[in-house]
Structure 1
Amino acid sequence: MVTWEDERLGVVGPFPVRSSRWHDVGPVAAELETLVGVPVLVLRLVSVEGGADGQGGHVTYHAAALRRPAVRLADSAAVLAEDALRADWATAAGLRSALGWAEAALRSAGRPVTGPVEQVKTWNLSGLYRVPTADGPAWLKTTPPFGACEAEVIGLFGSADATLVPAVLAADSAARRVLLDHVPGEDCWGVPEDSMLTAVERLVGAQAALAAQGAGRAAGTTLPDRTPKVLAGRLRELLAGEAVRGLSAAELAQVERLADQLPAIVDELAGCGLPETVLHGDFHPGNWRSDGHGTVIVDFSDSCLGHPAFDGLRPRAFLSEQRWARVREIWTAAWAERLPGSDPGRALELAEPLMHVGYAVRYQEFLDNIELSERIYHEGDPAAELREAIRSA
C-alpha cells in the first residue's frame, strides 16, 4: 500500500522477496522501487496472512514514495488506520525527520552523505538504515522510548572497553536516534570460528569494571531495573495481567509456585558472589559482529541493570550443545578469575528461571507499547517465557 505525502496512491503486488523475515524490509523496498519507478521507504507492517515466528506468509506493508510515481497503481479498499502507539519512524513525517537529522549530523561530523540511504530493517522495536559517506557507511538506528538509550549504554561499556562497542558518530537521545560507524565483518549467526567467542570474556571484563564503578546506578542514567529482587516482584504483576493468557491451569499453578520460590532463589543467587551490573540484555551471537580478528557487540536497546548470569545464559538457545559448553566455560572462568571465591557456575543454574521471567517482562512491555498491527511479532512470547521459567526451575 503506497502513499505519497498525504495522498493514497494504491497497491502493488504481491511479489516475492529474498528474505522471509517480516522486518527485513530492505528487499521489499528495493523491489517496490523497481516496480513503481521512484525511491520508496517501507514504514510498517499492516497485516500478515499465514507465516509464523516473524517470517513467511503474505505480508502487507505501508510504504511511502519519496517522489510521485508516473505509473498508476491498483485501487484498494483496505484501510490505513491510525494508532496512537505507532513508532515515529513508522510514519512518513517521522522517518523524514530521522533521515534529515542523520544527514545534518554527518555533515557536521565532516562525513557528508554521498548517495541514497539504504533501508535495511523496520519494525516496532527499531529502524535500521545504511547511510553512504565518503569515509564508508554509517548506520542510522531509531528505537522506541521503551528501549534503552543506546548511545548511553555504548558510552558505559565503551568506558570499560572501547573496542567492544561500535563508535557513536552522533546521538539524539531524546528522540532515540543514534548514528554508528560501520563495524566490519559479519553477524555471528552460526559462525564456526572460535574468534567470535572473545566477546564473552570481554563482556565479563567490562561488566565487572562497571559494577566496581557503580555505573548504571548513577544519577541521570535511564536504564530499567531488572535485578533479581525486582523481577521477583514483577512476576506477581505478570500473574495479574494478559501475560499469562494461553497458559493452562496447571502451568498457571506452577508459575504461582515459582513466584513463591523466587525470594529464596534470589537470596541464594546473591550468595554466589557476582555483582549486579549493566547488562547487554540480548547477548546472543546475532548481536556479536566479527571479522575473524576482533568481535564487537551491537544492539543495546534491551540493556538494563541486572544479574550478569542473565547475559551469560542468553547465548545458550542459539548454540549447539558443544558450542554452549565452550561459552559456559569461558564465562564461568572469566568471572572466577575476577572474583575469587565466587561461584559463577551455580549462578547460571539459579539465574535461569529469573532470566526467563525477565524476558517475559520485556516482551509484555513490547506488547503494551506497540501498535495493534505489529503485536503479531510478540503475541504469546510472555507466556512462552513463563513456560521456560517453570521448566528451568
Structure 2
Amino acid sequence: MEVRAQLAQQMFVVEMPENFWFPDVEPVLQALREQFGFEAVVRTCVSEDPITYLLDPIDSFDEILGWIGSHVQACGPWVQVKSWGLSNVLRIPTADGDVYFKALSQASTDPEALPFLFADEPRFLQLTSADRPGEVPAPIAIDERRRWMLLPDLGTPLGAAEDVGLWIDAVRNHARLQLSYAAEPSRLLSYSCADRRLAVLTDELDRLLEPNKLTRHLDPVQFAKLPDRAKQLREAINELAEIGVPETLLHGDLHPRNLAVRDGRVLAFDWTDAALAHPFLDLVTFVEKQSPLSADPRVRDAYLAEWEQYATPTDLRRALTLAEELGTLYQTITYLHLVDHVTGPTQTSLLRGGSTWLEKLLA
C-alpha cells in the first residue's frame, strides 16, 4: 500500500502493509526517517484513498515537549505513535521506562449536550487513581485545561496473553472496581463520566429512528426493521433494569487491546468513553472472535460471580444476555455521537465502525 506524506511543497511516498490503519503513524514516520533522512510529525491525515498525511517540522511540538520535559527526563528520542481526530500520542523513553503523552481532541459542542469524548480522561484518571490506587492507571502528570497527560508504560496487551487466569483476573478486578462505585453515582458524574444509564439509553434509542449519518447507509429493508427493533430494545432495557444490578462505572471500550498486563497485574486504559451506565455493557466489547479466551465460560462466570449480592446466578446470566444485545445498541449510539464531531478520514473510519455495530443490531 502506498502512503503519502507532504511537508511544505514536498511529497514523499512510502510502502505500508495492506492492513495499515492511518492513525498508527509511527511506522510511516520511521520510514520517512530511514528512506529520506528527515524528521517530521503528522499534523493530520487528509485522505484514506490513498492515505495522505500533512506533516509539520518537529519544532511544532516544542510546547508539548517543554511540558513533558518539566515532568520527566527523556533518555532517547521521542516518537509520535498515533495521530487522528480523537487523540495524539507520543512515546518518550526515560531511565525508568517508556512514558506516553496523550492529548485529547477538544471539539466545540453545545454545553447542554454530551461532551465530544464522554469523559475527560486526564481528570478521570487523576481522581479515580487517588480513590482506587493500583486499580486504574495513575497519571504521572496532567494538564486539565489542555487535556494532556503522561502515563507510564502499562505493559503488554491482554489480547496476547494465553493464561486464562489473567483473563479471569481482568474481569474480576474490573467488576470489583465497578462495584466499588455502585453507591456513588454522583461521584462518577463529578469525575466527568457521562450519564448513560438505561433511562438515558432509552432516549438515545430515538436517534436511530431519525435520519442520521449511520441510518442513511441502510438499505430500505434494513431501515424498515428499525421501528420493530426499537420496540424490542425498549423491552430489553426494561427487563434488564428490573433484574436489579446497580448502574455504575462503565469503561465503554473494554476490548482486550485496551487492557495491559505488567508484573501479573491487568489494568484497563483509554478511558475516554467512561460513563455511568449498566456495568454489564462492557462485556460486549470485551468478548471478541480474535481473542478466544475472552469468551471462555470461566471468564464469564468469574465476572458474574462478583455480582451475586444483587441477583441469582440465573438472573445474572439473563442480565448478561440482555446486556450483550443492548451493548450493541450502546456502541451504535456511541459511534453516532462521535461522527458528529469529526471530519475527514477519522469520520470515515468511525462511520465504518458505527455501521458495523448497526448492522449487528439489525441482524
* Partner residue in 1 for 2:164: 194
Counterparts of 2:19 and 2:148, CA distance in 1 = 26
Gaps (5+ residues) in structure 1? 50-57, 68-91
CA contact (8 A) 1:113 1:132 kept: yes
Q: Which of 137, 149, 166 does residue 120 from structure 2 map onto?
A: 149
* Partner residue in 2 for 1:42: 42
* Partner residue in 2 for 1:115: 76
CA contact (8 A) 1:287 1:298 kept: yes
CA contact (8 A) 2:286 2:294 kept: no
Helix, strand or coil: the match of 2:95?
A: coil
CA contact (8 A) 1:47 1:60 kept: yes
Counterparts of 2:354 and 2:345, CA distance in 1 = 18
Per-residue Cα deviation, 1:187-234 (whole angstroms, up to 9, x for no partner)? 12242112421111011001111112335455x432222212211211
Question: What is the letter of the counterpart of residue 48 of structure 2?
Answer: V
CA contact (8 A) 1:166 1:180 kept: yes
* Partner residue in 2 for 1:331: 303
Percent of paired sites with the same residue = 28
Question: What is the letter of the counterpart of residue 189 of structure 1?
Answer: G
* Partner residue in 2 for 1:303: 274
* Partner residue in 2 for 1:2: 6
TM-score by length of 1: 0.80
CA contact (8 A) 1:245 1:383 kept: no
CA contact (8 A) 1:316 1:324 kept: no
CA contact (8 A) 1:356 1:389 kept: yes
Question: What is the letter of the counterpart of residue 379 of structure 1?
Answer: L
Counterparts of 1:263 and 1:285, CA distance in 2 = 29
Distance 1:352 1:19, change over 3 A: closer
Counterparts of 2:131 and 2:176, CA distance in 1 = 8
Alignment: residue pair count: 345
Task: Quote how far apart the aligned CAs of 1:365 are.
Answer: 2.1
Question: What is the letter of the counterpart of residue 101 of structure 1?
Answer: W
Question: What is the letter of the counterpart of residue 65 of structure 1?
Answer: P
CA contact (8 A) 2:158 2:266 kept: no
Across the aligned residues of Structure 1 and Structure 2, the Cα RMSD in angstroms comes to 2.4
TM-score by length of 2: 0.86
Gaps (5+ residues) in structure 2? 107-115
Counterparts of 2:354 and 2:295, CA distance in 1 = 27
Question: What is the letter of the counterpart of residue 360 of structure 1?
Answer: T
Counterparts of 1:322 and 1:360, CA distance in 2 = 21
**How is 1:1-393 mapped onto 2 (pairs within 5 angstroms)?**
1-3=5-7, 8-16=8-16, 20-49=20-49, 58-66=50-58, 92=60, 95-104=61-70, 106=71, 111-145=72-106, 146-147=116-117, 148-155=119-126, 157-159=128-130, 161-183=132-154, 185-197=155-167, 198-218=169-189, 220-240=190-210, 241-291=212-262, 293-318=264-289, 319-320=291-292, 323-336=295-308, 338-339=309-310, 341=312, 343-391=315-363
Helix, strand or coil: the match of 1:346?
A: helix
